[in-house]
Copies of this chain bind each other. A is one copy, B any other.
Amino acid sequence: MLTNSSKYALKAVLYLTLHSDENHKLQVKDISEKINIPKAYSGKLLQALAKRNIISSSRGPRGGFYVDEGNKKQTIMAIIDTIDGRKKMDACLLGLDACNEENPCPLHDLFASSRSKMIKVFEETTLDDLVGSLGSKDLFLYK
């Protein structure tokens, strides 16, 4: 479904959404330790996310990564797309290029409705939404 990379990216962005803002930037080291992923690897992912404006960053002393109000309008799908590429989500279960609604593979109809529901949720759910639904319980799992 998702590569390791986009799982990591999702975790990192969620962490930033909950624990950072313009005045509380976090460094790669802090983030990677908290969410239990290799530092150098998370650095790379965070850079890719910042370039696409999913998250924000600033260099130099007191710099770091953070999520501002604008970033919170980003969706889960935007994160996945940045790291894995959107196409993978739409791909035929059997990997058939020619498979689609009009020309479905034998598994297409079994799978299509679940998948499109899932994709819709990913496209429509923003970081704001996620944080909202968590309410006050900060606790979630990074392992």
A87-117: which residues lie under 8 A (CB-CB) from chain B?
A: 93-99, 103, 105-107, 109-111, 114-115, 117
Q: Say yes or no: is A83 at the interface (Cβ < 8 Å to chain B).
A: no
| Copies per assembly | 2
From B93, B110, B125, B143, give the contact of A96 (CB < 8 A). Answer: B143
Cβ contacts A110-143/B at 8 Å (1 or 0 each): 1100110110011001000010011000001111
Provide the residues of chain B in CB contact with A103, threshold 8 Å: 141
Provide the residues of chain B in CB contact with A125, threshold 8 Å: 110
**Which of A3-11, A21-29, A42-50 binds B?**
A3-11
Q: Say yes or no: is A76 at the interface (Cβ < 8 Å to chain B).
A: yes
> How many A residues, CB 8 Å from partner?
36
Contact A1 B1 (CB under 8 A): yes
Bound Cα distance A121, B112 (Å): 11
Q: Say yes or no: is A40 at the interface (Cβ < 8 Å to chain B).
A: no
Bound Cα distance A142, B106 (Å): 11
Interface pairs A-B: 10 shortest CB-CB: A114-B118, A7-B95, A1-B1, A96-B141, A114-B114, A98-B141, A110-B121, A114-B117, A7-B94, A106-B130
